[in-house]
Structure formats: structure tokens, C-alpha cells
Amino acid sequence: MVVGNRRGLRLAALGTLLAVVALPAYADDPTPPPPASVTDVNRTLEELQAEAAAVQADFAKATIAYTNALKAAQTAEAAAKKAETAAAASKGRADEQRRRLGLLTAQAYQLGIPTVMGAESMLWSLAPVAENLQEIADRQTAITQLGSTQVAQYKTAMAAESEAGRTRSEAAGKRAVANEAAAKAKELSQQVQQKAAFAATAMEGQAADLDGASELSRQLQLARNQQALTRWKTYLTELTTAKVKPPAAAVLKNPAKLPAGLKPLTAAGAPVPGAASTVTGGRTIRVLPAETIRAVNQAFSLLGKPYGVGATGPAKYGCLGAARVAWQPYTTLPNLVGKVYPNYQAVPKTQVQPGDLLVMGSKSLGLVHIGVALDNGEMIAADEAKGSVVVTTVPDNLYSALRPTLGKPAKPQIAPTPSSESYAFRCGNTATSYNIGTGAWTWPLPDGTYEIGTPFGQAGSMWATGIHTGQDFPAAVGTPVRAATSGVVRVEHPAWAGNLVRIDHGNGLETLYAHLSAIDVADGAQVKAGQRIGAVGTEGNSTGPHLHFEVRLGGDPVNPMPFLATGSASVGWGGFSNGMIPSSKLCGLGSGHKLRCDAAAAYAQLAAAYRAQFGRTLCITDSYRSYTSQVDLYARKPSLAALPGTSNHGWGVAVDLCGGIDRFGTKQYQWMKNHAATYGWVHPSWAEQGGSREEPWHWEFGKPASA
């Protein structure tokens, strides 16, 4: 593939740069980072993912169209069969009425009784009984009946015949619709097969590049860590050169009462409490408290340490663990991010300084992530997506900045109440499915009014984050825009979007609708799925009329296409697409099976307990499933398989088991129900007996949102 060849050349070229050009390294850092020029081109892995997202979006569009057509064909077929059954019954009733009229006509003829029917009508009525004239009743009864019933029966027979004709015509029309719908479904089925073949080929071409791209991404992260450390050391050197000894935090609390030689530090035109400045050689140098400098130094010492859920060191660190260690022994942070917020003075976001505690979250989600602030819009945080403590960009779901050196808040600070789903957003990321609940979910534009435009994840300098965070739908200005599902509206007017409607659906789920030419809902309004909220436009940073549509979970943008396709989605980890995880990031279970490494470790413990109970090896049939294999399975079993790109098998956190576990009610299945959760494995609700898709064999690592 041409794309694959270009990508390979790009990786090779960047790899060469990494090998031959590097910034000076400190003695305690054995890994020389790449130069800034390479760090600036840090979209290589993201570009791979963007290409994967584009293929997945295209395939999702085809499968959605096929699924809708298949449902339409099934509905039309059912309607046609119902109409044909009704037509057959109507014909039977008409035939019976005609037969009865024929008997009356035959009797009248045999008895010589005059009839009001013409010759043609008589022949029509006699046809059903021409061979059965012996059924005529005795003479006297016939004479009595004929006088009063022949005309009425003629009218009844004619009405029945007319109704039979109408139902026959209706049935023929519905059969034509059913045949047309079936033909369309067949055509779209063939398109899905073609798309599946293309997607499989494209993903196979990318799979070979993933390990290289993953390693390059790791090198770039090391470079970013090193550059942030270099900037920090430069600052410390400036203090030393200026012969400034960082004072204690208590001395800098009040900008109006600073020691001699220090002046207030200002930000956004206001003095910054807990910091100061000094002028040396005509240069203004920021002065931070000694406790803050110690905390930042300790935070830097944790860079590269592996991520672990809830871990506090020394081998692994969770989101809160890294921040807690950084600020000890000056203060010990509470054990939940939500409990940190009420205990330390919040400062304006415009006054954020290195060492501040940055808490991320929202009113609907609660507080879920914490980092130690640096300059340049960066922070140090234990990041599940990166798998370690890293220097990373402060996300746009920053809720508040806290300054521990200022002590308790002057006014009560109440943290937002965490939702029932907040556990799913450890450090802003999750590895399990996210279901939107029982409410309806619809496309934001009416069918036939839009195209599939720029996909989620595409790299480019026109976007502030470097990648496209939504899915674009080109459409004419004025095209109605609808709420994807129910929620509460927030109207905004950021420069990039012009007119923006943001809908909070609860539990950390949001949808965004940007570049609108008109907004038809009020701020704070409650809307339902499918309700008009505005119209397509080209306001803000836009290259033409289109809707920029986003889905955000816990503040993080995720690919909207699986949500639009299924009403639920899986969100990733480590920067990889579903089914596109490098083999180096997975751990083996034996017999060719692999899982994400933490899931693999938990599986090993589960398997050991199972062997102790039953004396046999835990039987497994499926584990990590590549995107290619998901496509293949979906192409063969579209009614059973998950839409490719949404399966938890594609995140390496799901297994299919056998050996008795694959049947409800067995001893093996019941043992799993009683004990698997102890090792972090659960049976999702949809797979339960009586669930939407009964699969006793399917188990997932970590408690999924649907459980």
C-alpha cells in the first residue's frame, strides 16, 4: 500500500534523527532525548490512529447503512406476508360468497323462477357450482329463499370480490416494496463485504508499523519529560545565580507583607499569593516557596515510574499517588481526589504556578484526576493512557487549581458529587465499555442531509491539540441539528467553534455541536433525543459548512462513530485504537492468547484458583482480538458480533471461556460467578441469562459500566 510505504519511510527517517541527534543529557538520565525538531513532529502514532479511525468510520458507516437496510427489509417482508395472508383470507371469503350466489342462481334456473341478474352475471355466479348442482335444496325451500335473498347475495358477493381485489393489489404493492428492500439490503451487504476486505487489508498494513510507532511515541515522551526537566533546572539555576534562597511558604502567603528584596508576583494583573518575584540585572525572577520547589523536584523524580490503579509507590503510582508523594512530608493528601479539593485553597486558573495541584473533572462526573502543575500548560501526572508518570498537557476538563502552601480554604470548597460511573474514568481514561443507558440515541443530522467528513483523530496543525477531536459532517447551511440523546444544554461561543451547544448527558458523557449558524435552545434547557437544537453553519475556525460533532467521556474526546453506530462504545488506553494494540504492549497467556498485561496478571491468578478447585486448566477460546479479526467475525456473523472497533476483546481485557463455563448453570459457571470478581473479572449484564445477548462464556477484566 502506498500509505503504508510512506508511513514506513517516515518512521525510518524519524528513527534516524532519534539515533544521530540528541539534546545534552544529564548524568542521571541514560536515555538521550531526540531534538526539539523531532519532538514537534510527535504525531506519528496519532497519524496511525487517525488512519485507523478513518477506516473504522468508513466501515461503521457501511455497516450502519446495511443494518438499517436489513431491518427495513425485514419489516417490509413481514408487512408483505401479513398483506398476502390477509389477501388470501379475503379471496377465500369472496369465493365463498360467490359460491353461495351460484347455488341460488342454479336453483332459480332449475325452478324457472325469474331473476334480476343478467346473463353475464348468471354465468359468473354459476362458475363455482357448475359441477355441483345437486346441492340445490328442495323445491319449496328454494322458492322461499330465492325471492328474498338472491339480490342481497349478489351484492354481498360483489362486495367481497371488490375487497379481495383491493387486498390483492395492496399485497402486491407491499411485496414489491419488500423485494426492493431485500435487493437494497443485499447490495449493501456486498458493500460491507468489500469494506470489510479493505479494512482488513488496511489494518494489516498498519499492524506492522504499530510497534515502531509505539517505540517512537515512547521516545518522544521521554524527550518531553527531559525538556520539562531542563526548563525546571534552568529556573533553579537562575535562582542560584541570583543568590536567592527560596523562603518558607509561610513567608510568601501574603503578597502585601513580603520580606525585603521581594516584590509581589503578578498574573493577569493581580498579585499571586504564595509566590513572589525579585529583580536581578534588570530581569524579573519568580520566587517560589522552598516547600513548593521540593514538591516539584519530587514529582520530577517519579517520571517514568509505572502506572498502577490506586498505587502509592515506590514501584507504581496511581493518579493520586504521584501527587501525594510529591507533596510529602509537607502535607499528606486525602485518599480521594474529591476529598483533596475541600482541604486546600483554590486559586484562579490564570494564576497557576508550578507545584499547584490541578484537579480535573466536572459537575456531572465528579473529580477524577490530579496532577502537579508545571509551566507551559503542562503537568506531571500518573497517566493510565501512557502507562506511567509523565509530563503531559493539562486537559481542558481542569476543574480547579489548589495551592497547598496557602493552607485551608478561606471559604468552603465543596467538591462535585461523583456519579455512579465515575470509577470508569481513572485518570481520565478507561478500558471498558461505556453504555449511554436506556435512552434513545440518534444521529445529529437527518438522514440524507450530510456526508461523512474529516474523521476523529486526523492529525493537522489547524487544530489546537494537533488532532481532530470530533467527527465532521459536511451539510448545507441551515440543515437542522439534533440532540444525539437527552441531556442538559450549555450554550458557549468559543473562538474555534463560533456557536457551540454542549449537552451534558450525565455520568461524564457529553456531546458537542460546533460551527452552528443558529442555536434554537436556551442555556440550561433539558432536551430529548432527536430534538432540534440548532442549524448547520460555518462559524468559527471552519473551512466550510459542516457540523463538528464530538463525544467526550470524563472530558476526553473519543471517536463518535461507534456511539452513533451502537449507542455505546469502548474507549481506549495507551493511545491505541481498538484492535490496534502493538504486541509489545500485550502479555501472553499461553497457546497464542494475549491480554493487556494487568488483565493477563489477574487472569493468571484466576486460572490458578480455578485449577486448585477443579484440577484442570482454565479453558480459553478467545482473548485479544485484532481489528482485522473483528472485521472478519462481523462479516461472517453481523447479527452476533460487536461492531468492529467496539469490542472489549479489541482492548485486550476480555476472554471467552470454555470447559463448562460456556453453559449457564454448570458448576464451572457458578464457580466463576462466585469467585471471578475477586480477581477483577466480571460477567457483564448484557451477557447474563436473560440479558440482551446471552453469552455465559464472555468475561471482562474490570467492572464495566454496563455491569
Q: Which carries the bigger pLDDT value, residue 141 or residue 583?
A: 583
For residues 242-261, give the mean pLDDT: 92
At residue 263, does pLDDT exceed 80? yes
pLDDT bracket for residue 378 (50, 70, 90): very high
For residues 160-172, give the mean pLDDT: 88
- Using an 8 Å Cβ cutoff, are 107 and 142 in contact? yes
Looking at residue 85, what is its pLDDT? 92
The secondary element (H helix, E strand) that includes residue 670 is helix 667-675
Helix (H, G, I), strand (E, B) or coil at 499: coil
pTM flag (> 0.85) = no
Q: Give the integer Cα–Cα distance in Å for 417 and 630.
A: 38
Same fold, 294-406 and 458-566: no
Looking at residue 420, what is its pLDDT? 55
On whether the 294-406 domain is CATH 3.90.1720.10, my answer is: yes
Residues 6+ apart with CB under 8 A from 475: 445, 449, 450, 451, 536, 545, 546, 547
Q: Give the integer Cα–Cα distance in Å for 242 and 675.
A: 63
Residue with cell 328474498: 148
Looking at residue 653, what is its pLDDT? 87
Q: Give the integer Cα–Cα distance in Å for 107 and 43.
A: 94
**Of the listed ranges 219-228, 300-309, 447-456, the one predicted with least confidence:** 447-456
At residue 596, does pLDDT exceed 70? yes
Looking at residue 520, what is its pLDDT? 97
Largest CA distance in the chain: 136
Question: Could you read off the pLDDT of 76-94 as tens digits, one per residue?
Answer: 899 989 989 998 998 898 8
Looking at residue 572, what is its pLDDT? 57
Classify residue 542 as left (phi > 0), alpha (psi -120 to 50) or beta: beta
At the topology level of CATH, where does 583-701 sit?
A: Muramoyl-pentapeptide Carboxypeptidase; domain 2 (3.30.1380)
* Domain spans, the chain: 54-112+140-195, 210-291, 294-406, 458-566, 583-701
User: Domain 458-566, what architecture?
Assistant: Distorted Sandwich (2.70)
Residues 6+ apart with CB under 8 A from 686: 692, 693, 706
The secondary element (H helix, E strand) that includes residue 70 is helix 44-111
Q: Which of 178-192, 321-335, 458-472 has the highest mean pLDDT?
A: 321-335
Looking at residue 94, what is its pLDDT? 82
For residues 532-561, give the mean pLDDT: 89
- Using an 8 Å Cβ cutoff, are 539 and 515 in contact? yes
Residues 6+ apart with CB under 8 A from 173: 83
Please, is 281 exposed, middle or buried when counting C-beta atoms within 10 Å of its C-beta (0-12, 13-18, 19+)? exposed
Long-range own/partner contacts, residues 4-10 (CB < 8 A, 24 or more apart):
4/205, 4/206, 4/208, 4/209, 7/47, 7/48, 7/206, 7/209, 8/209, 10/44
pLDDT bracket for residue 116 (50, 70, 90): low
At residue 634, does pLDDT exceed 70? yes
- The proportion of the chain whose per-residue pLDDT surpasses 90, expressed as a percent, equals 38
pLDDT bracket for residue 424 (50, 70, 90): low
Give one DSSP letter per residue of 469-492, joined into a string.
-SEEEE--TT-EEE-SS-EEEEEE
Question: What b-and-e string marks burial along 416-453, b requiring 16 or more CB atoms within 10 Å of the CB?
Answer: bebbebbebbbbbbbbbbbbbbeeebbbbbeeeebeeb
At residue 269, does pLDDT exceed 80? yes
**Of the listed ranges 101-105, 190-194, 329-333, 345-349, the one predicted with least confidence:** 101-105
Looking at residue 124, what is its pLDDT? 59
For residues 310-315, give the mean pLDDT: 83
Average pLDDT of the chain?
Answer: 80
Joined grid coordinates for residue 196: 470489510
